[in-house]
Amino acid sequence: MNDMKTMLQHGLQQMNIDLTVPQQLQLLAFVELLKKWNSTYNLTALRNDQDVISHHILDSLTLLPYIEHARGLIDVGSGGGMPGIPVAIARPDLPVALLDANSKKTSFLQQAVIELGLSNVQVITARVEAMVGEQFDVITSRAFAELNDFVTITKQLMAKGGYWAAMKGVYPYEEIERLPENVELVQVDKLSVPHLDAERHMVLVRKKDHV
């Protein structure tokens, strides 16, 4: 646990993320929950504590600079809760929805929300295509679908003036080319994640009639 705590602290420092000690302890508690429920719910292929910190916690927190002014966020295809739960811990003021069609995964998410005391999080078990009525100004996902599919099947959830923040690995040249005509690419940033030796990119997209 001490090694994980030190690694988390160093990672947060490198990323210029200032979290309180209770928030850091919540993140570490979330890692323990992931490990505890993993065999039952198949939440992550990672078994090494350090890998979970880098690939799941720190990687998820790369979203923070892109949601500074967000009023509501939905994590589509949340799975084991990444990036939604680490973000919700870091931003207790931000309403976060975790959406997944797999009821086993959402059972875990609900349990994590209760045990971590995350009053700003709602868990939704549904296919994204069936979601109507709610809207969010940031729609995010991590390795959920190709950009074209991601944008197309979530467009009814987009609030006016909102944007998609897709977390990707290597630069998605071909996916960007296949984006639908009614959206525009805002920016693609290469991300640096401490202790993670793999490419990461943040892709921001918005509707052309966003004004």
Q: Which domain holds residue 12?
A: 2-207
Spell out the SS3 assignment of 11-57: HHHHCCCCCCHHHHHHHHHHHHHHHHHHHHHCCCCCCCHHHHHHHHH
CA 196 – CA 53 distance, rounded (Å): 9
We report the CATH number of the domain holding residue 185 as 3.40.50.150
Sequence ranges of the binding site for S-adenosyl-L-methionine:
77, 82, 128-129, 142
CA 82 – CA 104 distance, rounded (Å): 15
DSSP string for residues in 61-88: HTTGGG-TT-S-EEEET-TTTTTHHHHH
pLDDT string in tens for the chain (211-residue length): 679 999 999 999 999 999 999 999 999 999 999 888 887 777 776 667 788 899 999 999 999 999 999 999 999 999 999 999 999 999 999 999 999 999 999 999 999 999 999 999 999 999 999 998 899 999 999 978 999 999 999 999 999 999 999 999 999 999 999 999 999 999 999 999 999 999 999 999 999 975 4
pLDDT value for 165: 98
pLDDT value for 132: 86
Sequence ranges of the binding site:
77, 82, 128-129, 142
CA 34 – CA 112 distance, rounded (Å): 9
pLDDT value for 201: 97
Q: Name beta bridge partners: 201.
A: 168, 190
Q: How many domains does the chain have?
A: 1
Please tell me the number of Cα atoms within 13 Å of 32 on its side-chain side.
12
Preceding amide of 22 cis, omega within 30: no
**Packed helices 103-116 and 21-41: angle between N→C axes, nearest 10 degrees:** 150
CA 106 – CA 187 distance, rounded (Å): 31
pLDDT value for 1: 63
CA 153 – CA 144 distance, rounded (Å): 11
pTM of the model: 0.95
